[in-house]
Structure 1
Amino acid sequence: MGYGMDYKCPNCGYDVSYFLGFGKLYLDFKMTCEILSELDNLINKEDLDKILSSESFIHESDEDNYENPEYLFEHVLSVRLYECSDCEKYYPLNFFRIRSKDGEIFVPRYSCEECGRELHLKKDDVFKCPECGETMDFIGEILWD
């Protein structure tokens, strides 16, 4: 189930909604793998192709219990909120985490559209207004799909 957050600036009235999580489309593991293979700029394309073609690539909740899977899909594809700490811009983008049996972690990497710096997952619920710089008020939550 996806969720959203509505924010409004008390100073200038700017408002924004962020739709996060995942909907019914991503519940199927095979469909999620297909979607991953079509997304650009997530991880090295060769690494992703190798992971998705592996016979022992599983989701952590799969009933097929491989003793030592080559790759484990630890976090299903979903939309999470990223931020640029320099520009204070926010981006709802695809997130997933895959771990290899050697402990290597694969996650998407994104860059800010404004300054080109690497984005990071947003860890708090404080949002600055992109119009005037004031802290925006949380208005409410939305449930979708």
Structure 2
Amino acid sequence: MTRGVPHLADPAWLLLLLALPLLAWLHHRRAAHGALTYSRLPVGRGVGRSWRLHLPFYARLLALACLVLALARPQLGYALEESLTEGIDIEIILDISGSMGAEDFKPKNRLTVAKQVVRDFVAGRPGDRIGLVVFSGGAMTRAPLTTDRA
């Protein structure tokens, strides 16, 4: 796979972002016309509205903008590369039971040696699809057949 260009799956949702400035304007218009009127005495002239009164509204507005952006579903596309290989399918079966802890190969145990043999084997088979099944009491697929060596 090759990395693609970031894009939006549903860009039409971004039209809702145009409503956010309208909501901000309506909020300020409503806030400018307070429910109480104060005296015109010079005592209260230096007192203004605190920005903290508007903070919850703008936090909601930011959350709404993030929600609209999420609805547009930003994605990082990947392009599939078709690969034609002339290999075979190989399934590796590996015993991971307690007996593999025996240290027959000093200073390593059987499991460590088996994993190294599998690594070397896989490195020598670049065009083959390789899978891995491990077993102890029961079998479990750890990696399906794939050409991915990561």
TM-score (norm 1): 0.22
Instruction: Name the structure with the higher helix share.
Output: 2
Instruction: Name the structure with the higher strand share.
Output: 1
Larger RCO (CA within 8 A; separation ≥ 6): 1
TM-score (norm 2): 0.21
